[in-house]
């Protein structure tokens, strides 16, 4: 393993785990991410700490579970005294850049970074016609239930702004001989699902295959899922395909932005001393389970991609269960920073080679949004709604999560065991946290 001087974290929003050409997805035109994957350790079983933006991003920033750091919905603020990866690298003289969709919920709290280059700054820099078009695309009904071509150009999306400023700030740091942590958070492929017209036209709507749905005899999911489905129940097959095409158009668009940032590393001559990480906050259902977006614990929402390209390290793939909170201690170990005792994740460095995982490596992962909680092992997933078990899926025999086994008599013991483990996790990881109250 070579010396790691710089850290570049590239994040997308709503980018599904399987939305990569290198994984065989015919709709994913991702040459730059595919190339990065070929140079990286690919973690095939990484899970987000929350299937919604702000909680997931605060868990990534702090290395703490959502209920422990306080942000359990987009409307909560973090507990006082938040310690982020930027704070951890500050004593080593790092430039600490954050731009794009960071989703800090307490703008008065010190997050350890330099001034945040926000989505609003991008919006206000656009010509008025572009602003009007974006605002039409982003209004609630259009954003959540439609997709199509946009007259905006590739340079008129926030991802272009994020890439441009990431390149400029990295170049400034390199020119001054300063190590950097650059956290570039792209909004794409977050809705609205309206990529540039020429990108949208890459897709033959008639050739898009819609996901299979649960058979009629399968036990239904929780009633909350049944209610969520109503938002998209009116859509025709054509409209479903339009949304899917729009989504994958944005996947291709953000792949181009990411490619420009990676090319800049080569141009600046620092690629061989820079740790490059690519991940996402959460996925998108893309009509699996008759749903779009996230806000649930299906695999399409909580199973996320994670690539780590480490200087001097041979690429490969790992199948251990890992979590987003593991990135904080991993970065600290790789750059030689002290990892604060607030961090609840485990360093992934022991998994960066070809050897076996430590004997005590985790056998379960956890996720949370508000009062909805998940525990997932290799074989089972339990989802708890407002304290009550609501869904149990046999992940070994039913990986599509079609048949809810929560009421099956032969699964009662499994529910009891998983619920007990979830309660232990909740108590243990919140022990040092004060109660958070919702804001906004």
Distance of CA 376 to the CA centre of its chain: 17
Quote the pLDDT of residue 430.
76
| Residue written as token pair 């960066």 | 352
Q: Rounded to whole angstroms, what are the CA distances from 197 to 20, 28, 188, 246, 290?
A: 21, 17, 16, 10, 27
Domains of the chain (ranges, CATH numbers): 6-362 (3.40.720.10)
Q: CB under 8 Å to 16, separation ≥6 — which residues?
A: 283, 284, 286, 300, 305
d(CA 292, CA 234): 13
What lies within 8 Å, CB to CB, of 84 at 6+ separation is 61, 62, 111, 112, 113
Residue pair 243/208 in contact by the 8 Å Cβ criterion: no
In whole angstroms, what is the distance from residue 12 CA to residue 32 CA? 14
Rounded-to-integer distance, Cα 349 and Cα 337, Å: 14
Q: What is the DSSP string of 366-429?
A: EEEETTEEEEEESSEEEEEETTEEEEEEETTT-TT--S--TT-GGGHHHHHHHHHHHHHHHHHH
Closest C-alpha to 18, from 6, 10, 26, 7: 26
H-run or E-run covering 380: strand 380-385
Tokens (6 digits) for 117: 């280059």
Could you give the C-alpha distances from 26 to 14, 20, 22, 160, 331, in angstroms and in order?
18, 9, 9, 25, 33
Q: Outline where DSSP puts E strands in 250-339.
A: 274-280, 303-304, 306-309, 316-318, 322-323
Q: What is the dihedral of CA 185, 190, 191, 192, to 10 degrees?
A: 40
Contacts of 52 (CB under 8 A, 6+ apart): 73, 74, 281, 282, 294, 295, 369
Contact of 30 with 38, CB cutoff 8 Å: no
Which strands make up the sheet holding 388-394, listed edge to edge?
364-369, 372-377, 380-385, 388-394
295: left (phi over 0), alpha (psi -120 to 50) or beta: left
pLDDT (tens place) for every residue of the chain, 440 residues total: 668 999 999 999 999 999 999 999 999 999 999 999 999 999 999 999 999 999 999 999 999 999 999 999 999 999 999 999 999 999 999 999 999 999 999 999 999 999 999 999 999 999 999 999 999 999 999 999 999 999 999 999 999 999 999 999 999 999 999 999 999 999 999 999 999 999 999 999 999 999 999 999 999 999 999 999 999 999 999 999 999 999 999 999 999 999 999 999 999 999 999 999 999 999 999 999 999 999 999 999 999 999 999 999 999 999 999 999 999 999 999 999 999 999 999 999 999 988 999 999 999 999 999 999 999 999 999 999 999 999 999 999 999 999 999 999 999 999 999 999 999 999 998 765 543 333 22
Query: Helix and strand tally (H, E) in the chain?
Result: 14, 14
Predicted confidence at residue 338, as pLDDT, reads: 97
- CB-CB contact of 169 with 227 (8 Å): no
- Its pTM stands at 0.95
DSSP state of 276: E
């Amino acid at each position: 393993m070579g010396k790691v001087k710089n850290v570049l974290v590239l994040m997308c929003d709503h980018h599904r785990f399987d939305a990569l050409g290198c994984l065989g997805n015919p709709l994913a035109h991702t040459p730059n991410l595919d190339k990065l994957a070929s140079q990286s350790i690919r973690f095939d079983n990484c899970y987000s700490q929350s299937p919604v933006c702000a909680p997931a991003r605060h868990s990534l920033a702090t290395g703490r579970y959502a209920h422990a750091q306080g942000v359990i919905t987009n409307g909560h603020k973090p507990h006082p005294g938040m310690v982020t990866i930027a704070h951890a690298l500050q004593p080593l003289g790092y430039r600490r850049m954050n731009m794009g969709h960071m989703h800090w919920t307490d703008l008065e709290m010190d997050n350890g970074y330099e001034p945040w280059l926000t989505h609003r700054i991008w919006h206000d820099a656009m010509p008025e016609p572009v602003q009007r078009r974006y605002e039409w695309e982003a209004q609630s009904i259009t954003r959540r239930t439609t997709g199509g071509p946009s007259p905006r150009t590739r340079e008129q999306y926030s991802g272009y702004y994020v890439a441009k400023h990431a390149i400029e700030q990295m170049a400034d740091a390199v020119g001054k001989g300063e190590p950097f942590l650059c956290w570039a958070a792209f909004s794409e492929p977050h809705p609205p699902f309206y990529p540039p017209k020429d990108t949208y036209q890459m897709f033959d709507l008639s050739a898009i295959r819609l996901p299979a749905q649960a058979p009629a005899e399968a036990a239904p999911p929780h009633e909350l899922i049944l209610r969520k489905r109503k938002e998209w129940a009116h859509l025709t097959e054509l409209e479903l395909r339009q949304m899917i095409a729009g989504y994958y158009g944005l996947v291709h668009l953000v792949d181009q932005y990411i490619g420009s940032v990676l090319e800049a590393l080569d141009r600046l001559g620092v690629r061989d001393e820079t740790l490059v990480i690519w991940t996402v906050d959460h996925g998108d259902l893309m009509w699996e389970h008759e749903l779009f977006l996230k806000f649930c614990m299906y695999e399409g929402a909580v199973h996320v991609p994670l690539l780590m390209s480490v200087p001097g390290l041979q690429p490969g793939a790992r199948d251990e269960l890992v979590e987003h909170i593991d990135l904080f201690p991993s970065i600290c170990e790789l750059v030689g920073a002290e990892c604060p005792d607030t961090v609840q994740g485990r360093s992934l460095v022991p998994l960066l080679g070809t050897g076996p995982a430590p004997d005590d490596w985790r056998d379960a992962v956890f996720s949370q949004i508000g009062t909805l909680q998940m525990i997932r092992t290799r074989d089972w997933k339990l989802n708890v709604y407002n304290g009550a078990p609501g869904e149990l899926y046999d992940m070994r025999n039913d990986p599509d999560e079609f048949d809810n086994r929560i009421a099956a008599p032969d699964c009662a013991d499994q529910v009891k065991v998983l619920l007990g483990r979830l309660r232990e996790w909740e108590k243990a990881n919140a022990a040092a946290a004060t109660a958070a109250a919702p804001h906004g």
